[in-house]
A and B are shown apart, each in its own frame.
Chain A
Amino acid sequence: MNVPTNAAAIAASVRAGELKAADVLEQYLARIERHEEQVHAFNLVLTLEARASAAAVDEVVAAGGDPGPLAGVPVALKDNLCTRGIPTTCSSRILERWRPPYDATVVRRLAAAGAVVVGKTNMDEFAMGSSTENSAFGPTRNPHDLDRVPGGSSGGSSAAVAAGFAPLALGSDTGGSIRQPAALCGVVGAKPTYGLVSRYGLIAFASSLDQIGPLALDVRDAALLLDAIAGPDSRDSTCLAEHPPAAAARLDGGVEGLRVGVVRELAGAEGMSADVVARMRDAADALAAAGAKVDEVSVPAAVYGLSAYYLIAPAEASSNLARYDGVRYGARSRTGTDGAGDITEMYLDTRSEGFGAEVKRRIMLGTYALSAGYYDAYYGQAQRVRTLILRDFAAAYRNFDVLLSPTAPGTAFGMGAKTADPLTMYLNDVCTIPSNLAGHPAISVPFGTGADGLPVGVQVLAPALGETLMFQVAAALEAAAPATPVPAMRAGGQEGASR
């Protein structure tokens, strides 16, 4: 039996009755069994639940029905997406034993599309981080090089896809948490337009920036997954009511005549490594060769994005994470259980024991930015910078259809290399943050390797609801890209399966 490596082909074969969802699943479970211990992509592998869903998909097919566009496709879920009765931890001690009494909207959409959820993936605690080293349950390793980080915060999801543990994964992206790990793991990752995908059941980090998005081995699969989860949801007031643009509508459309702008401020941003910038130039040349009109463009306010982001996101987070207080769910300190202290003592101990250092840092930063006397200088000012970024993007899109930039400043870095200095870690997000502040879509596509032979990602940015065009350009970029290295475990797993 030959199981295809991409989701589109798996779904087509399962729907056609040529392949059983159960067999697809077993192959992925076997690879997880073999390599998960090294990678630690998952907080939880849902072997039994996945087998039951796969069997249900096969029954639908056997009964002559259509299980949906993701029929029998294994999907890994970031562990900040609520799953009913299944632990959902955000990789935090404070939620270690919490079982949500409800499913996130995207989880329901996946089920409706026939997907098979294989597990909950590791992440930086509450999605705060760029390396997945801030997990209370230990770091995830990069399948390309186990001594390096997979990026973050959706490091578990991107590593799962890169390692061949699932052809598709969902992540969340607040300042680059899908795109940066996608770049570092050599996979495709997209952050949709804010409001395209319901956030209901996504455990909030920064509500005005968070979006759920796809990770996949290729652009078509990412589009397929996005199309399955996008669309209006009456449970999310910030979800767009209109029919969403189809990501997969024009993947073969090419780039002939399209105007592509290389963002000068991002290509030249603080800390960019030369090989990453070189790959982005290669990508621009490739698009030009394919018929696009490529030019430089200035988005002056983009450089202020990082600072604005590190005021806005922590501010919202400080409020979103107040609810972890040991009263209704989650962990509670012993102070609260043995009757020794009053409620304030219980709050202090529960939160100090339950949160890791990075989460505490951001809660304090955000509390400070909102506190009396500082609101206007910090939070208020950051919100005005957000307006400037929106204006500068609007000006750029008057002359360009899409924009191009590096995704991350470098390739995957060594474990522990940036943990000592939070600010250095934050600089990883400089190219990805402006899209979150603007609410615009952006996608990272693998494009060659760095000097160290590790994958490099190039980012395509589009205006709000520009997904169709963005995926069209991403597909053209993918077609022109040099071969991305395949981690041995994914290649090996495939050989094992076809033996």
Chain B
Amino acid sequence: MNHMPRRITTDDVAHVARLARLRLSDVELEEFTGQLAAVLDHARDVEALDTEGVPPTAHPLPLVNVLRDDVVVPSLDRDEVLRQAPSVEADRFRVPRILGEAP
């Protein structure tokens, strides 16, 4: 039996928005918090369900070992790829400065 999490707060929503790289105004934050709380409240029936010993289903198919041979197939034309990019420099995708190292 899983413990039931407490009700979602605006702090939670602000944290989640940050993780998901979404900027919310204060009004949006309040509104989304109420809406997410309503959906999560509805999900309480699921949380309350006794699933002791029930394995999770991540996928409806019982497939395993779907593999491809290590054979080269042609890549895309670089111009076609870079044409779709918002900003390009020296045949690379240009991005604004990065403040942190990759984790």
Contact = CB atoms under 8 A, between A and B. Distances in A.
Interface of A: 98-99, 101-102, 194-195, 208, 234, 237-238, 240-241, 303-304, 306-308, 310-311, 318, 322, 325-332, 335-337, 339, 341-349, 351-352, 355, 360-361, 363-365, 367-368, 371, 373-374, 376-378, 380-388, 390, 421-423, 426, 437-440, 464
B21 A347 contact: yes
Interface of B: 2-5, 8, 12-13, 15-17, 19-24, 32, 35-36, 38-40, 42-47, 49, 51, 54-61, 63, 66, 68, 76-77, 80-81, 84-87, 93, 95-99
29 contacts: A101-B81, A194-B60, A234-B68, A238-B63, A240-B63, A304-B49, A306-B42, A327-B86, A330-B86, A335-B96, A337-B86, A341-B96, A342-B96, A343-B97, A351-B21, A360-B24, A363-B22, A364-B36, A365-B36, A367-B19, A371-B16, A377-B3, A377-B47, A381-B2, A381-B49, A384-B57, A388-B51, A423-B42, A439-B60
Given A343-B95, A371-B19, A380 B56 contact: yes
Contacts of B85: 327-329
**The 5 nearest A-B residue pairs measured at CB:** A439-B60, A383-B56, A332-B86, A384-B51, A386-B57
A423 B13 CA distance: 18
A303 B43 CA distance: 11
**A208, A331, A437, A438 interface centre (most CB from chain B within 10 Å):** A208
Nearest to B98: A343
A310 B36 CA distance: 11
B61 A240 contact: yes
Nearest to B2: A377
Given A343-B99, A351-B22, A422-B35, A310 B86 contact: no
A421 B36 CA distance: 11
Contact of B84 (A99, A335, A348): A99
A240 B38 CA distance: 38
B56 A348 contact: no
B99 A342 contact: yes
B46 A346 contact: no
Nearest to B53: A384
A208 B39 contact: no
A310 B45 CA distance: 12
Contacts of A327: 85-86, 93, 95
Contacts of B22: 348, 351-352, 355, 360, 363-364
A240 B63 CA distance: 8
B54 A388 contact: yes
A381 B46 contact: yes
A382 B43 CA distance: 9
A384 B52 CA distance: 9
Contacts of B45: 303-304, 307
A422 B34 CA distance: 11
A446 B38 CA distance: 33
B43 A310 contact: yes
A186 B19 CA distance: 42
Contacts of B21: 322, 325, 344, 347-348, 351
Contacts of B97: 342-343
B49 A385 contact: yes
A241 B99 CA distance: 46
A105 to B, nearest CB: 15
Contacts of B56: 380, 383-384, 386-387
A400 B45 CA distance: 28
Contacts of B40: 365, 368, 378
A422 B16 contact: no
B46 A195 contact: no
A383 B56 CA distance: 5
A101 B95 contact: no
Nearest to B38: A423
Given A331-B86, A439-B61, 6 more contacts: A101-B77, A102-B76, A339-B96, A351-B23, A368-B40, A380-B56
A139 B66 CA distance: 40
Contacts of A376: 2
A307 B80 CA distance: 42
Contact of A345 (B46, B63, B96): B96
B77 to A, nearest CB: 8
Nearest to B65: A237
A328 B58 contact: no
A102 to B, nearest CB: 8
A364 B95 contact: no
Contacts of B42: 306-307, 310, 423
A194 B61 contact: yes
B38 to A, nearest CB: 5
A361 B35 contact: yes
Contact of B57 (A351, A374, A387): A387
